[in-house]
Amino acid sequence: MQNAVEHVETMTTEEVFAAVQNLKKKLEENFVTLGQLFSMIKRRKMFQAKGYDNFKDFVEAEYNINSTLAGKLLSVYEIYVEELDVDDGTIKQLGFDRLNMIKPYVKAGYPDADEWLQKAEQMPVNELKQHIKEIKAKDKDKDKDVKDVLIDQYMERMLTWFNCSQKELNFKLALYFQDADLEDIKKIVKERQRQFELETQTPKEEGK
């Protein structure tokens, strides 16, 4: 294991705290060991020895490390070392950023851990980011129904027309609707919704 503290399980609480303090100075070089130590601190609730009720408050106050970052360090260690037993050379070569980027897909087995590790090893960081971004976009599109598509088209059209931000568009719409006759709008919306649902029904739904 990269920079591993092999006897970590037998270390005293104070030795663990001191090790974290020393290793965090060079986080990128020591991310595996830090994750290992954080995992043990959280699992054994060692933060209580310092008078803290939770891991989040402990790492932020004692080490000035954002709890989100500490959680990422912890999960990278638990997934790649404890669960997948990835070899030291691969972990060292990929580094914390790449391992963290592919972590959601490796954890979900999508499509499988080895393939994602290979992608992370072969692709430059920017290319890997773009690849993940494209996959997220495709997955998002898969989950969209016809209502989502209509909403996206409407928002794109309105934002382009007014040439403004989403917040500014919401403000403009609020100005438009504040004195409108809501009963008339409700009737129009109900009629258009009924028409939309009729037009977008599949043959199977029509036969129900």
pLDDT of residue 60: 95
Hey, how many other C-beta atoms are within 10 angstroms of the C-beta on 155?
A: 12
How far, rounded to the nearest angstrom, does the alpha carbon of residue 162 sit from its chain's CA centroid? 32
Surface-to-core class of residue 37, CB atoms within 10 Å of its CB (0-12 exposed, 13-18 middle, 19+ buried): buried
Can you give the residue ranges of every domain in the chain?
8-142, 146-202
Check if the beta carbon of residue 146 is closer than 8 Å to that of residue 153: no
The average pLDDT across 175-181 equals 89
pLDDT tens readout for residues 97-153: 999 999 988 876 655 788 899 999 999 989 999 999 888 887 776 665 677 777 878
Q: Does 69 score more than 80 pLDDT?
A: yes
Q: Does 67 score more than 90 pLDDT?
A: yes
Structure tokens at 36: 């290992």
Place of tokens 């609480």: 13
What is the distance between the alpha carbons of residues 19 and 169, in angstroms, rounded to a whole number?
Answer: 52
What is the distance between the alpha carbons of residues 170 and 166, in angstroms, rounded to a whole number?
Answer: 6
pTM passes above 0.95: no
